[in-house]
């Protein structure tokens, strides 16, 4: 497909790279010539320097022939105007990144009247992801597939963990629960493990199972963390508002701390169920006074990555059960995770770009491509793909032990047509109507038949 991306910030650049790697024809537009120059010289894409909301610039980019335009600048108004203009020029689909809460209230109108195919509020989407993680605190991150019937969770093996030094083929005998470890990050290197793979302390694993079996897995290991009842949030931002609203609606007790009195006042008016405190979260005396040691979950959402990391480390030192930090700069996030500094790191850019990538995959599926959805895991090095098994599949009714599945490719889970959830083994086979999750390092895989050699 031909895709035009306006804005080369973290989201735009990430999208350009991933969509180019997927084989799409990409044109990027940004008002800063150096950003365009750097992107064009590091990726197989075209670039134009200028205002993405300009008629002439869009015509030069070939927007009239584009299948999709993505407006991801820092300005909601430019994003909306860019999409409106592109639609008038003939672009089939448009996506806008929209942050302003006032605009969000008008999204239905914007979609229908301005022709928006999709509008993404990054802060709201990150808040939703954090909310899901807080509800299952064992996980570092959670991805859902097949209408949320299969979950893929990210988890770190810490010291004295019962599964450390265990061979994967011995896992079921030890825990008596059917789960599948389908990807491992170890000291910066990614593995799609086989049965002979031995887990080590410090490994970050991705395991899949039914939601019920995931809970049993951690209970049987004696590692299950109960759901949070009280949560402390640092940062009275839009993201803090969306998160606090979700958590209070779920019946949790929420405390918000921010050093800006005006922001706190507005937050207090919007969220009468939450306790909003004006104060500096860097003040350890204040944090002790507000009961951080008795908090079930701590979330740092300030505008500074460094501050969020420091506060998260401090919370862990106070034995808070679940700690989450917003870290947008990838080098900082990698250090925080690989150095075991923080439980969970979330990035606005990563969440936003992943949602758009899923939408693009759905577009491809609608025009004959086979992938229903795609999620990037293991720092973007591994794809978790969802397929539906149709009659044209050549692998139906063949036990997996008889298939020569490609290296670094694994069948992670199956949901049968009748709703049964299967964590596969060598005797499992595909049936028509299955929803299938494949984990692979192959960026070109877009047909279930291609998983075999």
Give the pLDDT confidence of 295-353 residue by residue, as tens digits.
999 999 999 999 999 999 999 999 998 999 999 988 888 888 777 778 789 998 888 88
pTM: 0.80
Q: How high is the pLDDT of residue 145?
A: 77
- Domain presence at residue 383: yes
Asked whether 201 and 158 are in contact (CB, 8 A), the reply is yes
Q: How high is the pLDDT of residue 285?
A: 95
Q: Of the candidates 85, 120, 155, which is a domain's last residue?
A: 120
Instruction: Render pLDDT for 131-141 as a digit per residue (tens, 0 to 9).
Output: 989 988 888 88
Q: How high is the pLDDT of residue 239?
A: 95
**Is residue 104 left, alpha or beta, with left meaning phi > 0 and alpha meaning psi from -120 to 50?**
alpha
What is the pLDDT averaged over residues 246-259?
95
- Domain presence at residue 221: no
Residues 139, 354, 77, CA angle at the centre, nearest 5°?
125
Strand partners, 190: 185
Q: How high is the pLDDT of residue 368?
A: 45
Q: Of the candidates 321, 353, 376, which is a domain's last residue?
A: 321
Q: Which tokens belong to 161?
A: 């963990």
Those residues whose C-beta lies under 8 Å from the C-beta of residue 339, and which sit 6 or more positions away, are none
Range scoring the smallest mean pLDDT among 57-71, 110-124, 258-272, 284-298: 110-124
Q: Looking at the structure, do residues 308 and 380 belong to the same domain, yes or no? A: no
Q: Looking at the structure, do residues 6 and 116 belong to the same domain, yes or no? A: yes
**Residue percentage of the chain with pLDDT more than 70:** 96
Q: How high is the pLDDT of residue 364?
A: 67
Instruction: For the chain, report the end-to-end CA distance as a whole number of angstroms.
Output: 27
- Domain presence at residue 45: yes
Q: Looking at the structure, do residues 392 and 313 belong to the same domain, yes or no? A: no
Q: Looking at the structure, do residues 286 and 396 belong to the same domain, yes or no? A: no
Instruction: Render pLDDT for 86-97 as a digit per residue (tens, 0 to 9).
Output: 999 999 999 999
**pLDDT at residue 152 tops 80:** yes
CATH number at residue 389: 3.30.70.1450
Q: Looking at the structure, do residues 391 and 310 belong to the same domain, yes or no? A: no
- Domain presence at residue 263: yes
Mean of the per-residue pLDDT values of the chain: 90
Q: How high is the pLDDT of residue 66?
A: 95
Q: Looking at the structure, do residues 385 and 316 belong to the same domain, yes or no? A: no
Q: Looking at the structure, do residues 371 and 316 belong to the same domain, yes or no? A: no
**pLDDT at residue 105 tops 60:** yes
Q: Looking at the structure, do residues 308 and 371 belong to the same domain, yes or no? A: no
Q: Looking at the structure, do residues 305 and 406 belong to the same domain, yes or no? A: no
Asked whether 15 and 71 are in contact (CB, 8 A), the reply is no
Range of the domain at 401: 367-451
- Domain presence at residue 333: no
Q: Looking at the structure, do residues 8 and 72 belong to the same domain, yes or no? A: yes
- Domain presence at residue 143: no
- Residue 273 banded pLDDT, cuts 50, 70, 90: very high
What is the pLDDT averaged over residues 431-444?
90
Q: How high is the pLDDT of residue 409?
A: 94
Q: Looking at the structure, do residues 115 and 10 belong to the same domain, yes or no? A: yes
Position with higher pLDDT, 370 vs 323: 323
Q: Looking at the structure, do residues 416 and 315 belong to the same domain, yes or no? A: no
Range scoring the smallest mean pLDDT among 105-119, 161-175, 235-249, 374-388: 105-119
- Domain presence at residue 341: no
CATH number at residue 280: 3.40.50.720
Position with higher pLDDT, 168 vs 23: 168
- Residue 225 banded pLDDT, cuts 50, 70, 90: confident
Those residues whose C-beta lies under 8 Å from the C-beta of residue 156, and which sit 6 or more positions away, are 140, 202, 203, 204, 205, 340, 343
What is the pLDDT averaged over residues 269-275?
95
What's the structural domain count of the chain?
3
Position with higher pLDDT, 295 vs 359: 295
- Domain presence at residue 81: yes
């Amino acid at each position: 497909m031909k895709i035009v991306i306006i804005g080369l910030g973290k989201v735009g650049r990430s999208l350009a790279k991933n969509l180019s790697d997927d084989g799409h024809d990409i044109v990027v537009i940004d008002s800063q010539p150096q950003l365009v120059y750097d992107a064009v010289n590091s990726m197989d894409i075209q670039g134009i320097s200028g205002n993405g909301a300009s008629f002439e610039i869009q015509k030069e980019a070939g927007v009239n022939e584009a299948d999709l335009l993505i407006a991801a600048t820092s300005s909601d108004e430019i994003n909306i105007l860019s999409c409106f203009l592109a639609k008038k020029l003939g672009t089939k689909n448009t996506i806008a990144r929209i942050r302003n809460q006032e605009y969000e209230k008008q999204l239905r109108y914007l979609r229908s009247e301005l022709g928006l195919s999709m509008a993404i509020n990054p802060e709201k989407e990150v808040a939703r992801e954090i909310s899901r993680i807080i509800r299952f605190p064992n996980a570092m991150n959670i991805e859902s597939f097949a209408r949320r019937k299969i979950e893929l969770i990210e988890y770190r093996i810490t010291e004295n963990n019962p599964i450390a030094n265990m061979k994967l083929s011995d896992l079921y005998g030890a825990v008596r629960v059917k789960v599948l470890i389908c990807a491992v990050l170890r000291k910066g290197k990614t593995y799609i493990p086989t049965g002979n793979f031995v887990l080590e302390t410090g490994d970050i694993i991705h395991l899949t199972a039914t939601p019920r079996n995931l809970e049993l897995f951690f209970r049987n290991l004696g590692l299950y963390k109960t759901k949070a009842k009280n949560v402390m949030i640092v940062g009275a931002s839009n993201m803090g508002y969306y998160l606090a609203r979700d958590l209070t609606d779920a019946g949790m007790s929420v405390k918000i701390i921010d050093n800006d009195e005006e922001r706190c006042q507005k937050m207090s008016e919007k969220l009468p169920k939450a306790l909003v405190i004006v104060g500096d979260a860097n003040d350890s005396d204040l944090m002790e006074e507000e009961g951080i040691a008795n908090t079930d979950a701590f979330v740092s959402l300030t505008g500074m990555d460094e501050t969020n990391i420091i506060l998260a480390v401090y919370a862990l030192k106070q034995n808070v059960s679940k700690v989450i930090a917003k870290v947008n700069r990838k080098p900082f996030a990698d250090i925080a995770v690989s150095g075991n500094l923080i439980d969970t790191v979330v990035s606005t850019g990563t969440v936003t770009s992943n949602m758009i990538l899923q939408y693009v995959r759905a577009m491809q599926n609608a025009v004959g491509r086979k992938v229903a959805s795609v999620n990037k895991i293991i720092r973007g090095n591994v794809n978790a793909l969802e397929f539906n098994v149709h009659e044209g599949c050549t692998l139906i009714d063949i036990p997996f032990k008889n298939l020569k599945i490609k290296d670094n490719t694994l069948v992670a889970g199956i949901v049968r047509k009748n709703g049964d959830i299967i964590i596969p083994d060598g005797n499992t086979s595909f049936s028509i109507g299955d929803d299938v999750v494949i984990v692979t390092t192959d960026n070109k895989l877009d047909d279930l038949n291609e998983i075999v050699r």
